[in-house]
Structure 1
């Protein structure tokens, strides 16, 4: 099974002071895709520079020509399907059909309260995502949509000319619970996971692999319920949140070992955070670039 290697570039650099060159360098290194977080602020970066995902991806689309681009991930925390659909159609056009929408239920961080609301419970987030994704699917595939929901509505929303990618741009759904996995099985072209968060602090790599195997098994069961082959769904691991989060970037050999174990589980794409000095994503940039250029051949 082939394994694609992608990167995630946090939007904290001014475009003309390192932002543009990072995205063009990612393409030069041969990454399959470049993603960015769709947050309004995030964790330790909250009090520093942070730019919007859609404008950043639009600029990246103009600066690159081959690499796929996308969010990882967008959530209903501050998005509405109608306005998001219009932005995605525009972004897919500018990029020439290179956009993937990573989408999930969101969390309890800054985005959850920035509009003045109380944080939603896990069930409320799941309820909203269950309404958000089907409506967004319609908005990206139909010329005009009217729909009334509990959380999201559309009245004669016009979406011409639609996506460059047909019938629409792909969804990569981030999910580990049963409802999210059912959404993935029904609407997703890909599935995203960061592993089991309960293992982040004190788990072992072996426990993490077992947990990921369990998640893939549950995705398979959700697909089977709909009569869908789970092999049709790409499986994306966003690294940096498993117990061995730093080790894969220590050397090419360490990464190949890590990636090989996860490829054997069924993953088709691994995403590495672009190194950021003095952060949770600090790494040796020379080793990172060697991994980008050498590891794909070793994993073929």
Structure 2
């Protein structure tokens, strides 16, 4: 198999479903790709019953991908019991992510795909980031990037791209967090990403309202008038095509999705509910506005089913495919600029 540099896939929490779904994803993708190289523990991956071959460099992955899972082997210090994470392994889990990002920054990998991590053992080991998104943003902070920096979280399912203005914030805090500045920055990141990473020359953005019925002219809340409408005015003056704030209950049906390329959602469930309704098993979490392409499955570690052989790889397969598509669009965009 020849072509672009492979994707770097960090194994994630070793006691979760990561090793299982990686093995299943390789089985589904081995013939036609996209090729990836796993950054993780080769012995743990061999235990999944698929052929594994350690490689010394990411560039060796393509030559072996059709017959074995290529792995940059960094063994864990403590044995793994499915469903039972160990804080002693957390440092290596973080190292896997960092190495995958380094490979993408150097060009040895075309992008990063991250299997799910567990926050508690990482925090117990001193990890100081809320999650993957913030950690990767920190790792890439000094890398050159000709655009508005994120990170902005985008969830995709079928033809829906839902981008979050706030992420894991208590609902009671959302109105204060949804500021003109935050909405504008998110929209700029999304607009640029649609052009650079998705090849959409003139992106159409939709903006979800915060309140029912988009505030009903101020009768059910003032955020649409005081925050969202001014943000829209600023963005349109910059040449960004974005709708007025629209009631969220009318934004996600088939006909509505056909009118925009991405939608800005103001809080977690406003984006996640339609994404998981459209494609519960195959949704993808993507980070926009970084010097590297990064995607991830839209699910957690699955400790309750780890090691039982029932974990589905749909989301990881979709994440690998999307990362490869974005990386290709990014290369094409750079060559045309």
TM-based fold match above 0.5? no
Q: Relative CO higher for 1 or 2, CA cutoff 8 Å, sep ≥ 6?
A: 2
> Looking at CA atoms only, which structure, 1 or 2, has the larger radius of gyration?
2
